[in-house]
């Protein structure tokens, strides 16, 4: 099974350009399907509900460092992070560029 890539965009008020934008959460299965949903907020509970409804337990998930993804391992996922805040944008084949470029 190819890794599942996950990323939340425009979640939280991050930077001047984020104010007033609609939060969107997206899932991208590498070389496959995309799922996007407008969300009320990007809290851990909101995102985990979507993740558990769309991704089977035990799958691999790659995310950025957003705090709402804390606990994915405890919920049965193999979880890898890319920390953009540390100037990290890829680690080997691990990246979140696919969903960010949609």
pLDDT tens, position by position, 47-84 = 899 999 999 999 988 888 888 889 899 999 998 887 77
CA distance from start to end of the chain: 22
Provide the token pair at 5: 């890539």
Q: Is 0.85 topped by the overall pTM?
A: no
- The domains of the chain are located at 4-100
CATH architecture type of domain 4-100: 2-Layer Sandwich (3.30)
User: How distant, in Å, are the alpha carbons of 2, 7, 15, 20, 40 from that of 79?
Assistant: 13, 12, 26, 30, 24
pLDDT tens, position by position, 18-53 = 667 778 888 888 777 888 888 888 889 988 999 999
């Amino acid at each position: 099974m190819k890794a599942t890539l996950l990323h939340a965009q425009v979640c939280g008020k991050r930077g001047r350009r984020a104010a007033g934008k609609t939060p969107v959460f997206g899932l991208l299965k590498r070389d496959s399907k995309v799922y996007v949903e407008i969300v009320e907020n990007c809290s851990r509970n909101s995102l985990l509900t979507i993740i558990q409804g769309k991704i089977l337990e035990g799958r691999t998930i790659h995310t950025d460092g957003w705090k709402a993804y804390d606990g994915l391992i405890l919920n049965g996922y193999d979880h890898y992070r890319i920390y953009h805040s540390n100037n990290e944008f890829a680690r080997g084949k691990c990246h979140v560029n696919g969903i960010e470029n949609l």
